[in-house]
Amino acid sequence: MTQGEGGSAPEREDVAAPERVVGVGPWEGPWPDDPRYDPELLREGDRRNVVDAYRYWSNAAIVADLDTRRNPLHVAVENWQHDANIGSVVRTANAVNAAGAHVVGNKRWNRRGAMVTDRYLTVHHHADVAALADWAAGRGLPLVGIDNVDGSVPLETYDLPRACVLLFGQEGPGLSDEAVARCTNVLAIAQFGSTRSINVGAAAAVAMHAWVRRHVFGQRP
């Protein structure tokens, strides 16, 4: 049936959806007299994935502003097999404005998933779990592991400390035995399906959001 006969027009598979343009174009009008603004971005436009309040700001200016209001939460990931999920964890750490991200083990990590958000927070490296534990102890920060190991406590019922380091294991094997031994507590995320575990990037997002609910919105477990 054709459209003229009362039917609907056939779908056009050859028509591409319009591409969504991210960000803003060149600055219009007189340039602002503010050292936080980047001349190149003002001239060329700002297509970065940043909130509107930071449009046209230099990266250094953004970091300096974030530093004035960092949350006292740190996030660490073991990296024994070049885990591709670390970038996702760093990106979420930036979203909650964590005080820092930590890579334990191999110094090189896959930054693709971070989507350049590692520019906006400090990423620390520790050769092993003992080095991370010493760093945290020197700052009075408890290590809180996230893994569904035997003896773990439900994240949903645990009162997360405000200043702490959330430690995540390697994708697949999870937290190493040494990491579990170094943690003050290990928390498990409730699951109700058939899979044994969830992706470490997803687990990190859930755990960090639990911290936000507790310490930004005051929602006690």
- Same-domain pairing of 208 and 111: yes
Q: What is the pTM of this model?
A: 0.89
pLDDT at position 14 is: 60
* Residues of the chain falling short of pLDDT 70: 1-19
Within this chain, do residues 106 and 198 fall inside the same structural domain, yes or no? yes
Question: 99 with 167, same domain?
Answer: yes
- Other CB atoms closer than 10 Å to residue 22's CB: what's the count? 10
pLDDT of residue 196: 84
User: Is 39 within 8 Å of 55 (Cβ atoms)?
Assistant: no
Of 42, 69, 96, which closes a domain?
Answer: 69
Among 69, 95, 127, identify where a domain stops. 69
193, 205: one domain: yes
pLDDT of residue 96: 98
Confidence (pLDDT) at 2: 42
> 166, 211 in Cβ contact below 8 A?
yes
| Domain membership flag for residue 17 | no
| Helices 200-215 and 86-95, packing angle to 10 deg | 20
Residues 105, 92 share a domain: yes
Token pair in block for residue 209: 């959001």
CB 141 within 8 A of CB 165: yes
204 in the same domain as 191? yes
Domain count for the chain: 2
Edge-to-edge order in the sheet of strand 123-126: 123-126, 98-105, 71-79, 164-168, 143-146, 185-188, 153-154
Chain Cα centroid distance, residue 10: 43
Q: Is the Cβ–Cβ distance between 89 and 204 less than 8 Å?
A: yes
Same domain, 139 and 102: yes
Provide the CATH number for the domain around residue 164: 3.40.1280.10
- pLDDT for residue 21: 78
**102 and 130: one domain?**
yes
Q: Are residues 79 and 159 in the same domain?
A: yes
Cβ count within 10 A of residue 80: 14
> Residue 168: which region, alpha, beta or left (left: phi > 0; alpha: psi -120 to 50)?
beta
Q: Is residue 3 part of a domain?
A: no
Identify whether the C-beta of residue 67 lies closer than 8 Å to the C-beta of residue 93. no
Place of tokens 């980047």: 38
Convert the pLDDT of each residue in 98-120 to its tens digit: 999 999 999 999 899 999 999 99
The pLDDT value given to residue 15? 61
> What range does the domain containing 29 cover?
22-69
Residue 169 lies in a domain: yes
Interval 69-79: pLDDT, tens: 999 999 999 99
- Give the pLDDT confidence score for residue 13 in this predicted structure: 56
Among residues 49, 42, 50, the alpha carbon closest in space to that of 25 is found at 42
What integer pLDDT is reported at residue 1 of this predicted model? 40
* 36 shares its domain with 133: no
